[in-house]
Chains A and B, each alone.
Chain A
Amino acid sequence: DIVMIQSPDSLAVSLGERATINCKSTQSVFYNTDNKNYLAWYQQKPGQPPKLLLYWASTRESGVPDRFSGSGSGTDFTLTISSLQAEDVAVYYCQQYYTTQWTFGQGTKLEI
């Protein structure tokens, strides 16, 4: 199985500042046939199911603010929140859907 490793485990950022979360996979999640990275980012707030933020590593889900962006390819990916808002406090997960068994990173807790 592909193991997804996020860093850091927790992060405190001031309002209006940039937050960066990294995700590394133990094997590439890039498919040459369609030129896509099979990686998604989710946001989860307490007591709620996860919410999709980004897919194909960098495509923003409809309705997600443009302060959220994703980058990277192959095995190394980054989620960036350009200007942190109070409502962004949550746990963030990366997930690969490249292999038959999908796997999540361990999560990064983002605080103000």
Chain B
Amino acid sequence: EVQLVESGGGLVKPGGSLRLSCAASGLTFSHAWMIWVRQAPGKGLEWVGRIKSDTDGGTTDYAAPVRGRFTISRDDSKNTLYLQMNSLKTEDTAVYYCHFTSHAPVFIDYWGQGALVTVSS
């Protein structure tokens, strides 16, 4: 069974930094393209970004609101995904979900329970 467990959330001041982690188990993590999705309180889902597997180049893509401030990385030796968030703004307050989905050969889809990040002075 695939499990994704986020950690590292908390309260941070505007302009500050925070790093989220997502510990993955039950999947071949090194082959997985991993995703971060966030949800502001009472709002909808927002795709944050994705990192490809190292075998597929290990490249990252980001949504426009976080590009240049957030960095997704991975440590395949620890089966862990990271989200480094810098220059945080109040509008970055959200639950951040770790998401794994694969579309081939079969479609699979797993989510963590989320980590709450609150940006407030």
Residues of A near any B CB (own CB < 8 A): 1, 40, 42, 44, 49-52, 55-56, 59, 61, 91, 93, 95, 97, 100-107
**Chain B, interface SS category:** strand
Nearest A residue to B59, CB-CB = A100
A105 CB contact (under 8 Å) in B44, B64, B97, B101: B44
A64 to chain B, nearest CB (A): 11
**Is the C-beta of B11 less than 8 angstroms from some C-beta in chain A?**
no
Known: A1-B64, A101-B61. A52 touches B45 (CB 8 A): no
Residues of B contacting A44 in the complex (Cβ-Cβ under 8 angstroms): 45
Residues of B contacting A1 in the complex (Cβ-Cβ under 8 angstroms): 63-64
Known: A49-B97, A50-B45, A105-B44. A100 touches B61 (CB 8 A): yes
Asked if residues A107 and B107 are in contact (CB atoms below 8 Å), the reply is: no
